[in-house]
Chain A
Amino acid sequence: MKLTKIALLFGLTALVPTFASADTLAQVLKKGTLNCGVSTGIPGFSATDSKGVWKGIDVDFCRAVASAVLGDASKIKYIPLTAKERFTALQSGEIDVLSRASTWTATRDTSLGLNFAGVNYYDGQGFLVNKSLGINSAKELDGATFCIQAGTTTELNLTDYFKANNMEYKSVTYDTSGQTIDGFKKGRCDAVTSDASQLYGLRLKMKDPSSVKVLPEIISKEPLGPVVRQGDDVWFNVVRWTLFALLEAEELGVSSMNVDKMLKSDNPSVKRLLGTSGKAGENLGLKSDWAYQIVKNVGNYGESFDKHVGKDSPLNIDRGLNNLWNKGGLMYSMPVR
C-alpha cells in the first residue's frame, strides 16, 4: 500500500512538473533577497568588473526591482544562467525575475508559462564593416563577403534582407561567434552581422576600433526585456512598473543626483512618482517611496544606459531606438497616476 502511494507520488510529480507559482512578492519580502537571473557574461548587459561585482543595464534592472521591493539595491542573489537554462530557472522558481537580454517573441510569451514585463533594450541585427570599404549604408553592401555563424537566425535574417533588396552576398561560415570575429579581424570578409549591441563589443575587440564602424541599418527586431512567471499578476505588476518608473524618472528629469531635491518638487507628476502624493506604491503592494528608492540607488533609465552601454562606457552605443519617445526613440512609460 505504502509502496503504491510512493510510486503514485513519483509518477504524478514526474508527469506534472510543478511550476512555482504562488506569491513571489511575499516570498521575496520574506527572504529579504531577490534572486535575479543574469547572463554568464554579455558586455554592457551583465558582466562582472575586476572586483567581481555584477554590472550592466540588465543588472541595474535587478537592482531597481530590489530597490523597489526591499529598499536596498544590494540585497540580490545573482544567478548566472546560460541561454538554455534561463527559462527553466524561472519556471522552477530558482529565480524571481529573469533579466538576461532575452528577446520577447510570441512563442516564448505564450508557450513557456512566462510573461515579458516590458522592453528595457530595443536591439536588432546590424552590420559591422571596415571603414576602408567606404560604405555608409547597408544598401551598398551588394556583393560583399560576410563572416557568419552557422545555423543562427542572423543568417536567415541576412538572406531575407538581401533577397528583399535584390542584392547578393558571399559568406564564410564559422562555428562560434569568437571564430566569426576572428575571421573578420583577419580580413576574410568585408562585414560581420550580429545583434547591434554585440557589434559594439566586437568593435572594441579589434586591434584598431576606429578602423571599423557599425552601419545605421537594423534589419531585425530583437526587443529585450525582463521576464517573470505567468500567473502571478502582483509580481508582474511590480516588475513592469519598476521598468516604467525608470523611464518615467528620466522623462521627468529625476536622476540619482537630484532625487532628494525633487522630493520637494511641486510638479504633480514628480510627486506621484516619488510617492509624496498618490498611492502608486501602496497599490503595487510596495512602500510609497518605491520609485524614490529605485532612482536613488540605481538612477533613471538614461543614467543606467549611458553608464553601461552608452556614451560613458567604452561601448559607446547610440541611444537610437532606446531613447525616450519624445526624443525620437521608443521608450515610453505609462503615466504613474
Chain B
Amino acid sequence: MPVYTMKETKPAPSTSKGVVFWLRENLFPDIKNSLLTLTGFYFLYLAIPPLLTWMIFDATWSGTQEEIVNEGARWIFIIEKFDQFIYGFYPESLHWRPNLVLLITVLFLGSFKFVGNIKVKIVAILTYPFICFVLISGGWFGLETVGTEKWGGLMLTLVVAAVGIIASFPIGIVLALGRQSDMPIVKTLCIGFIEFIRGVPLITILFMASVVLPLFFSDGIDFDKLLRALIGITLFQAAYIAEVVRGGLQAIPKGQYEAAKSLGLGYWQGMIFIILPQALKISIPNLVGSFISLFKDTTLVLIIGLFDILAMVTLTNSDTLWLGYEIEGYVFVTFIYWVICFSMSQYSKSIERKFNTEH
C-alpha cells in the first residue's frame, strides 16, 4: 500500500512573482507596452526633476525679498501673505473664530459616522450651521460683528461651498420629488425651475445677483453682496442636485414603491423610510462629484468682486511691494484645492463603504 507524504511547497518560480514579475506583467508585457512605458518614464524624467528643483531644492523659504538668490520658487511671498490667503481681511485678533469653526467642522464630519442615535444627528445637523454662522459673522453673544466685506481667502471659499452644499441639498431633494410628482402644477413648476437654471451658466446667475438685482431694491436696503451670491449659488446647485437625486429615484425598482404603499405608508412616510434612503445611497458618487465641481465653481465669485482664495492671488500681487509672484500664488492655491477635493472624494468613499449593504 503506497504511503503518501506531503511534499513541501516549493517557492513559486521567479517568473510568476516578485518585483521582476510585477514589472514584466505590468510595464513590459510586450514591445508596444514597453515602448509606452519607456516614453512615459522619459516624460516623467523631463517634468519631475525640474519641478522638484523649482519647488523645493532651489526655493527660497525664509528671509526678505532682497536676500533672494535662488532661481526657484519664492515661498516667502506665501508666508508673507498667508493670513490674507486663508482669512482675507478678517481681523487678526479674531482669527480664532474661523479656526474654531474649522475645528467644529472636522469633529462634526469625523464623528458623524460613529454616532448611531438619529435624534442626536438631527439636532447636530440643525445647530451646526447656526453655530458656524454666529461664530464667523458675530453680532450675537457679545461677539464682535465682522462684516462680509472682510471675509475672504480660503475662509470665503469654504463658506460659499459649504452653504452651497448644505442649503442646496434639501432644496434639491424637494425639487427631485416635485419633478416625479403626480400633481401637474408642482411638477411643471419644478421642471421649469430645474431646466431654467440648468440652461444658464453659473456666471450669468452671479452677474444677475450682483449687477441686476440691486437696481430693483429701493434706497437704503443694503442687501449684502455675499448673501446675494450665496442665494444664486444655492439655487444653481439645487437644480443639479435635483437631477442627480432624480437619477437615484428612477433607479429604484417600482416594486419598492408598491411595497411601501402595500405596507400602508403614506407618500412622505414611504419616501423618507423606504425610497429616499435607497435612492440617496446609490446617488452618493454623483452627489459628491457634483459637490466637488461646485467647490471649484465657487471661484467664479471673483468676477463679482468677492475675494475667494483664487482672487487673493491677484490682489496680493497688486501690492506694489510684492509684484510678480503670481506663479507661487497659483501653485499654492492649486495645492490647497487638490488637498480639499481629494479629501472630499476620500470622505465620500468612506461613506459609501459604510452604507454599503449589498452582500
Scoring B residues 308 to 324 as 1 if CB is less than 8 Å from chain A, else 0, what string do you get?
A: 00010011111111111
Q: Is the CB of A93 within 8 A of B326?
A: no
Q: Which of B26-34, B185-193, B206-214 contacts its partner?
A: B206-214
Is B303 at the interface (CB under 8 A from chain A)?
yes
Map CB proximity to A onto B36-68 as digits: 1 under 8 Å, 0 otherwise: 000000000000000000000000000000000
A88 and B216 form a contact (CB under 8 A): no
Which of B77-85, B172-180, B346-354 is near enough to bind chain A? B77-85
* Cβ–Cβ contact A52 & B84, under 8 A: yes
Does the CB pair B214–A82 fall under 8 Å? no
A-chain residues with CB within 8 Å of residue B275 when the two chains form the complex? none
> What per-residue 1/0 map shows which CB atoms of A169-193 lie under 8 Å from chain B?
0000000001000000000000000
A78 at the interface (CB under 8 A from B): yes
Least CB distance, B98 to chain A, in whole angstroms:
14
Write out the residue numbers on chain B whose beta carbons fall within 8 Å of the beta carbon of A55: 319
| A43 and B225 contact, CB distance less than 8 A | no
Given A50-B84, A82-B304: A314 and B214 interface contact (C-beta under 8 Å): no
How large, as a class, is the contact surface on chain B?
Answer: 35 or more
Residues in A whose Cβ lies below 8 Å from that of B218: 18
Instruction: Name B's interface SS.
Output: helix
**A334-B8 Cα distance, complex, nearest whole Å:** 107
- Find the B residue at minimum CB distance from A45: B318
Residues 68-115 of A at the B interface (beta carbon under 8 Å)? 77-82, 84-85, 88-89, 91-94
Does B248 reach chain A (CB closer than 8 Å)? no
Contact B307 A40 (CB under 8 A): yes
- Chain B contacts for A89, CB-based, 8 A: 214
A residues within 8 Å of B by Cβ? 13-14, 17-22, 27, 40-44, 47-52, 55, 77-82, 84-85, 88-89, 91-94, 178, 201, 204-206, 308-309, 313-315
B220 contacts partner chain A, Cβ-Cβ < 8 Å: yes
* Beyond A18-B216, A40-B315, A47-B315, 17 additional pairs, beta carbon < 8 A: A18-B215, A18-B219, A19-B215, A27-B220, A40-B307, A41-B318, A43-B318, A43-B319, A43-B323, A47-B318, A48-B319, A77-B149, A80-B305, A88-B210, A94-B214, A308-B320, A314-B323
Known: A80-B305, A85-B211, A314-B320. A48 touches B315 (CB 8 A): yes
| Beta-carbon contacts under 8 Å, B196-241 to A | 207, 210-212, 214-220, 222, 225
A–B pairs, 13, beta carbons within 8 Å: A14-B216, A17-B216, A19-B215, A41-B318, A43-B319, A43-B323, A78-B149, A82-B303, A84-B207, A88-B211, A206-B324, A308-B320, A314-B323
**Shortest Cβ gap from B322 to chain A (Å):** 7
CB contact between B89 and one of A14, A48, A178, A308 (< 8 Å): that residue: A48
Interface residue? B266 (CB, 8 A)? no
Task: Determine if A92 and B217 form an interchain contact, defined as CB atoms under 8 angstroms apart.
Answer: yes
Chain B residues near A40 (CB, 8 Å)?
A: 302, 305, 307, 311, 314-315
- For the complex formed, measure the closest distance between the CB of A33 and the CB atoms of chain B, giving whole angstroms: 10
Instruction: Tell me, in angstroms, the Cα distance from A80 to B220 when the chains sit together.
Output: 19
Among all A-B residue pairs, the 8 with the closest Cβ atoms: A41-B318, A205-B324, A92-B214, A17-B215, A47-B318, A41-B315, A52-B89, A204-B323
Report the bound CA distance from A148 to B316 in whole Å.
Answer: 25
| B210 cross-chain contacts in A, Cβ below 8 A | 85, 88
Q: In the assembly, what is the distance between CA of A82 and CA of B217, in Å?
A: 21
B contact residues around A78 at 8 Å (CB)? 149
* Residue in B83, B219, B303 whose CB lies within 8 Å of A22: B219
Cα–Cα distance between A94 and B225 once the two chains are bound (Å): 9
A201 touching B219, Cβ below 8 Å: no
State whether the Cβ of B147 lies closer than 8 Å to any Cβ in chain A. yes
Which residue on B lies nearest to A309, using beta carbons? Answer: B320
